[in-house]
Amino acid sequence: MKAYPKVSAVAIALAGIISLPALAADRINLDAPTIFAANAAQSVISNDAFVEGASFVAANGDEIVRIQQTYQGLPVFGESFAATKNSLGFMTAFTGTAISGIDKDIASVEPSVKANTAVSTLASEWQHEIHRIHSPQKQLVVWLDAKDVAHLAWYVSYTIYGSNPTRPMGFVDAKSGKLLDSWDGLNHAEATGPGGNGKTGRYEFGPGKRYGSFEVRQNGSTCTLDSPNVETLDMRNRTSGGSVHSFTCPENTERQVNGAFSAMNDAHAFGLVTFDMYKEWYGIRPITQKLRLRVHYDSEYENAFWDGRQMTFGDGKNTFYPLVSLDVVAHEVSHGVTSQNSNLVYRNQSGGMNEAFSDVSAAAALYYLEGDFNWKIGDRIKKGSGAMRYMDNPPLDGKSIGHARDFTNGMNVHYSSGVFNKAFYLLSNKEGWDIRKAFDAYIKANQVYWTANSTFDQGGAGVYKAAEALGYCVNDVVDAFDVVGVTTGARTGSGCGGGDELPVAGFNTSVDGLKVAFNNTSQFADSYSWTFGDGNEASSMSPVHTYGAEGTYSVSLSAKNSLGEDTKSLNVTVVEKCDDGGNGGGGDANAWSETKSYKVGDIVTYNGSTYEATWWSTGARPDIYTNVWKKVQGLVVFADCPPVNDAPVANFSSVVNDLTITLTDSSTDDKGVVSRTWSVNGSVLSSADKVVNHTVASAGDYSVVLTVKDAEGLSSSKSVTVKVGSTGGCAPAWDAGKIYNTGDQISHNGKKYEAKWWTQGQEPGTTGQWGVWKDLGACN
């Protein structure tokens, strides 16, 4: 049987280790070197409260993977952390932030508010008429507010097209219907033929031309700007509709607009270039669906945007030529990359990072196609001199910032992007670096380490961690971001070729039976040498070793570079797991259980560590309750699985006859209930019998509590409100799709009923005298 975690009053009094929790989830820094932090992440993994996101292979061959947290199957919006997964599937080396304690705020994930109602709530806040909205998106999530209080919420958005397009996004409480938060999430910003504009000059796409031919779909003599990965629509200066452009093969010459020779050719060809860059360099699609590019949007529209589904480009007017240069196309496409990975919220510092990633993607795309970049964004479409943004000197545009100290809340995300743009420029120009290498670190950070509401410092730390995993010099990352006022990590020399630092050896272990995963924490080392104490050796960075027999082994790691060598040794104890014969222990009965009763001297394992009980307890997690458990060296596993005592589960039913309540105990326990206590409205009844008759003075609601204990002192309680006599009026109507619990009252076909136990879909009045529904008489 199962029981909720408990600790005895004596254990709590003596341990004095925890106070009653506030109504807020707990945010745990996994980068802190504590057992509690490591166990918080392991708890997420062991409870399957996650889904794996994007991943990449580190320099040592391990897989670095994003762990998206979930709660009762729903995503926890913006909350993920990174883990290292070795060749055996072990997850270790967690980094980032984990969330626990959501159950303190959310008991049920059944929404009371419908998804469409949530969309209407958002539209009402933004004063948009329902008939004008396009592409409404709705997702049920768990969302944490600024105080880390968890809410069951609808994550909703939609798009309004027109001369001033917008994409409201927000969270609506799925219980109360209240709008919790909202913001504008609109991200601005083989055939042959001509391209270019009055500033770049006319150029040609085709064999032997400045740029190669671009891929199209051909049907007879008709070609369309369509391919397996990219399609380009001609909006014909409208804000809706549009169709894939067609022309007579093989040359598309349509059409000159605002000084550009063929905006559709540019958009389509550069969309293909962007797709190819992501595919060739990283083996990924920039977005999961086909790239849809909409050209000639509205009349004289001087902008471009990503609306969560597609990229849209205006023809410009006085300030810009049509906004279809490679940097602008790659910029908009890369908003899709961000939305499908870190999903950086488009405001505050995360919004500046969102814009910066699109800018660095634009730099990468030009470097991919042309092998060079001038650090100017939008200079090829801007009429006259200058550019939209200057990555090497962001303040040159008169609005952007180049240092984190200049950021202010509410700042335009295009201007705050200068911080990460400048860092990218500095990193790309470090010795041994280039645009491709710096982009490696940025995209891996976006895929795995950044989260929806990352700050500049958290984002910089993500780039640092990505560089470290890739084997790149982390000192260069620290130095580049230090110039723009962003904290990233320590100058450990990792990936920097040793330099002038002596190596420092270090490691920790994760033990599972006879199998041990070694996590290398050495610094300034170029090579490693392991001895496992059983005659076996290894030279990989973080090996996994399985011992042939139980015992304690002396493990040594030597870390070396050109200047010297350092050695670290630890004793590791391994014992084979027990086999409980299929009685529920899963072959690991010595692992700590939240429902088991432990006495002084009991030995358990929890998340790779071993603990000995110093006091009686139940539900006291070993890594938290340090006055109940003490940590001991090595791993000890029982040869024979010890018997497990589970706490009882209290349960009872009630029948009302006039003013008399008949209470019947139906509690269960693996070894039998030995005592019980009944109380009504706080007063303990004199009888402790299994069946008790209690007469009350008058009609009303009475709180009945049953507490039961087993032979080893474990207890459980259940409380039910019992209604005696007529309390007037009808209850809410019965709903076949709703879940009802013990004591819930409803009305159906002119009668009032009370649920005797949990039920769903059983119609009142059809289940008979012994059914789930108790007939309380007529109501009106």
Q: Catalytic site residues?
A: 332, 414
Q: CA 511, 515, 520, 525 torsion: positive or negative?
A: positive
Q: How far apart are CA 183 and CA 156, in angstroms?
A: 11
Angle at 336 between CA 277 and CA 128, to 5 degrees: 155
Contacts of 183 (CB under 8 A, 6+ apart): 168, 169, 170, 345, 346, 347
Asked if residues 353 and 341 have their Cβ atoms less than 8 Å apart, the reply is no
Structure tokens at 728: 């007037």
Q: What is the DSSP letter of 706?
A: E
Q: How far apart are CA 382 and CA 441, in angstroms?
A: 30
Structure tokens at 456: 């500049």
Residue given tokens 């938290």 in the structure block: 624
Pairing type for strands 217-219 and 222-224 reads antiparallel
Asked if residues 424 and 363 have their Cβ atoms less than 8 Å apart, the reply is yes
Q: CA 549, 552, 556, 557 torsion: positive or negative?
A: positive
Helix ranges restricted to H, 560-693: none
Q: How far apart are CA 550 and CA 573, in angstroms?
A: 8
Q: How far apart are CA 654 and CA 668, in angstroms?
A: 17
Residue 713 class from Cβ within 10 Å (0-12 exposed, 13-18 middle, 19+ buried)? middle
Asked if residues 215 and 209 have their Cβ atoms less than 8 Å apart, the reply is no
Which DSSP helix (H) or strand (E) runs through 94? strand 91-100
Closest of 602, 621, 623, 626 to residue 613, by C-alpha: 602
Closest of 24, 177, 34 to residue 106, by C-alpha: 24
CB atoms within 10 A of CB 379: 18
Helix axes 348-370, 435-444, angle to 10 degrees: 140
Total number of residues shown for the chain: 780
Q: How far apart are CA 321 and CA 383, in angstroms?
A: 7
Which amino acid is present at 633? Q
Which DSSP helix (H) or strand (E) runs through 436? helix 435-444
Contacts of 326 (CB under 8 A, 6+ apart): 266, 270, 273, 274, 362, 365, 366, 369, 380
Residue 67 CA from chain centroid, whole number: 6
Residue given tokens 């219980």 in the structure block: 175
Q: How far apart are CA 214 and CA 204, in angstroms?
A: 11
| CA–CA distances in Å: residue 361 to residues 232, 294, 374, 593 | 20, 20, 14, 49
CB atoms within 10 A of CB 332: 30
User: Which segments of 575-672 are extended strands (E)?
Assistant: 597-598, 603-606, 609-613, 617-618, 629-632, 652-657, 660-665
Asked if residues 8 and 618 have their Cβ atoms less than 8 Å apart, the reply is yes
Asked if residues 44 and 50 have their Cβ atoms less than 8 Å apart, the reply is yes
Residue 16 CA from chain centroid, whole number: 34
CA quadruple 85, 86, 89, 93: dihedral, nearest 10: -40
